[in-house]
Chains A and B, each alone.
Chain A
């Protein structure tokens, strides 16, 4: 490119233009392509997971087909594998976790956005975020040595004497078991549901609240009518996000749920979730059929969490859209 030299201002003898190297597109083309490869590798990672799980699970899928999901015998010796006990365990422990966590989390989120004195809001929010940062294995440790002894001494016997006539609270109390797993899970999902709910609630426009206050509503009525009904969809998204976390949570549950491959009605009985059976048995799976069955459990777990998270994301995206779209 010689234009610069020809048309440079007459004043300069040794202009900047003459010193500058010619611009080159190569660096830009390279950097765009290169960073794009990095960004797009996200798709590759998802594909990689799916591929590895499918390859690992293939012998099991071929042998058992759909009945892998519906039968409940899990016997490495006879090489008969059905994942139903773990699917049941995952569903039940997540259900227990949500039953405890949802009311507590949403009430806490309401407290944080509507009721708490201003000076308390930020510290309390940070505290709850700290709870989310505690590694799972440490909660498991605490679960084994603090929570379970406490529960089996003071809570479970009471539950049994009150509700022992139902199959859910009958049978021997081991301490470890489905109920303990559900409770520790609830502690793990509370921070998630609370902090996402808090964000949703604080994004409700103040106009909504003021309109309700202007009608003479009490604080609770304002919250219920103006805030909660407005934020319904987002809160549901927060709960589903918590469900996704509960389904995939591994270490703490593994340490308190008891590693049993049987379905039992009693919540005091030991069990396994899909995640905990992987943690408990993968390392000792010596033969190929056993390993493949565990890969199949992993595949199911992966698909379930992806679907649940997809659903949660869509709900939250829709709720986020509301923020700008639908103003009263």
Chain B
């Protein structure tokens, strides 16, 4: 075989290979466009369909009985925040304090198991939490309730908060812990006054992310909070939430309900994205 020949062959082949490379690149670009398209479409429809129905009534009125025009989702908006409040009472302390254990105290073996289990728990479908809390709270307490819905969301939050908060705590340089311990300060005070304070912005970020994750959850509320069309100030009674209201209106047969479902969706997406975007601001500031 002579060298001259192979180089020329290689040269000819190169054109084909370059063409192939360009083709694959084009396909990748196409895939990217296809992936982003649904997002764009969802947004366009949300804004078009939702904007015309989001008005003062939407935020101040209760849903009207089926068939009647007008009304709003005021109770569902308040309900969503109520449920998030109850959820954070469970999710935040367990998640944050558990993360403190992982980052500050735990040995490598136990930590590995806790992290692994919480990743597994994170992958459990949210509807499973719905039926577990149904069995655990709704049946014994003989009724659907805001409390049960909040607990279901809280359980969902725990693994999310645990993992993200741990990462944030581990970002605190070891030097601060050492400096504080070298002053003879008790470990728990070092954690509380130095580590958590230093990481506070990151911890808030982690919490906001968890809120954004569960604020749009419907499945765990279906058999716990149930939803209703009234004002409810009793946490032992059913309560509505934006996702629940959107679901029940979207699957109903009335056009005016559909219209309001779009409005609810726009408000819910705005809520979720405001949470997400404030996270981005917080993290950018830090870097």
Which residues of chain A have a CB within 8 Å of any CB of chain B?
23-24, 27-28, 30-32, 34-36, 38-43, 45-46, 48-49, 52-53, 55-56, 103-105, 107-108, 110-112, 115-116, 124, 126-128, 130-131, 133-142, 144-146, 187, 190, 194, 216, 218-221, 223, 241, 244-245, 247-251, 255, 275, 278-279, 282-283, 294-295, 298, 301-302, 305-306, 308-310, 312-313
> How near does chain A come to B130, taking the closest CB pair, in angstroms?
8
Contacts of A48 in B (CB 8 A): 132, 136
Which of A23, A55, A56, A108 contacts B35 (CB under 8 A)? A108
**Distance of A39 Cα from B217 Cα, bound (Å):** 24
Contacts of A221 in B (CB 8 A): 17, 21
Contact assessment for A135 and B216 in the assembled complex, using a CB-CB cutoff below 8 Å = yes
Using CB atoms, name the residue of chain B closest to A110: B28
The verdict on A283 contacting B223 (CB below 8 Å), with A28-B188, A247-B125 known, is yes
Which 6 residue pairs are nearest across A and B when measured between Cβ atoms? A135-B216, A248-B125, A107-B31, A309-B123, A35-B101, A220-B21
The verdict on A45 contacting B158 (CB below 8 Å), with A107-B32, A137-B216, A146-B41 known, is yes
Contact assessment for A220 and B25 in the assembled complex, using a CB-CB cutoff below 8 Å = yes
Contacts of A36 in B (CB 8 A): 101, 105-106
Contact assessment for B250 and A28 in the assembled complex, using a CB-CB cutoff below 8 Å = no
**Distance of A103 Cα from B134 Cα, bound (Å):** 39
> How near does chain A come to B69, taking the closest CB pair, in angstroms?
19
Using CB atoms, name the residue of chain A closest to B23: A220
> How near does chain B come to A184, taking the closest CB pair, in angstroms?
9
Contact assessment for A104 and B35 in the assembled complex, using a CB-CB cutoff below 8 Å = yes
Q: Counting CB contacts under 8 A, is B219 at the interface?
A: yes
Contact assessment for A46 and B117 in the assembled complex, using a CB-CB cutoff below 8 Å = yes
The verdict on A220 contacting B20 (CB below 8 Å), with A31-B187, A133-B273, A247-B125 known, is yes
Residue pairs across A and B with Cβ atoms less than 8 A apart, 12 shown, are A31-B187, A31-B188, A34-B97, A42-B114, A133-B273, A135-B215, A137-B250, A218-B18, A221-B21, A282-B130, A298-B131, A306-B124
Which of B99, B113, B131 contacts A56 (CB under 8 A)? B131
The verdict on A124 contacting B32 (CB below 8 Å), with A48-B132, A275-B125, A278-B127 known, is yes
Contact assessment for A294 and B218 in the assembled complex, using a CB-CB cutoff below 8 Å = no
Q: Counting CB contacts under 8 A, is B83 at the interface?
A: no
Q: Mark B27-66, 1 if CB is under 8 A from A, else 0.
A: 1111110111011011001100100000000000000000
Which of B20, B36, B191 contacts A218 (CB under 8 A)? B20
Q: Chain A interface mostly helix, strand, loop or mixed?
A: helix
> How near does chain B come to A173, taking the closest CB pair, in angstroms?
20
Which residues of chain B have a CB within 8 Å of any CB of chain A?
14, 17-18, 20-21, 24-25, 27-32, 34-36, 38-39, 41-42, 45-46, 49, 93-94, 97-102, 104-106, 110, 113-114, 116-121, 123-132, 134-136, 155, 158-159, 162, 184, 186-189, 191, 212, 215-219, 222-223, 226, 243, 246-247, 250-251, 258, 261-262, 265, 268-269, 272-273, 276, 280
**Distance of A41 Cα from B91 Cα, bound (Å):** 11
The verdict on A138 contacting B269 (CB below 8 Å), with A32-B105, A35-B100 known, is yes
Using CB atoms, name the residue of chain B closest to A140: B250
Contact assessment for B29 and A137 in the assembled complex, using a CB-CB cutoff below 8 Å = no
Contact assessment for A255 and B120 in the assembled complex, using a CB-CB cutoff below 8 Å = no
- Besides A137-B246, A137-B268, 9 other CB < 8 A contacts? A39-B97, A41-B94, A130-B276, A135-B215, A139-B42, A141-B265, A220-B17, A255-B250, A308-B123
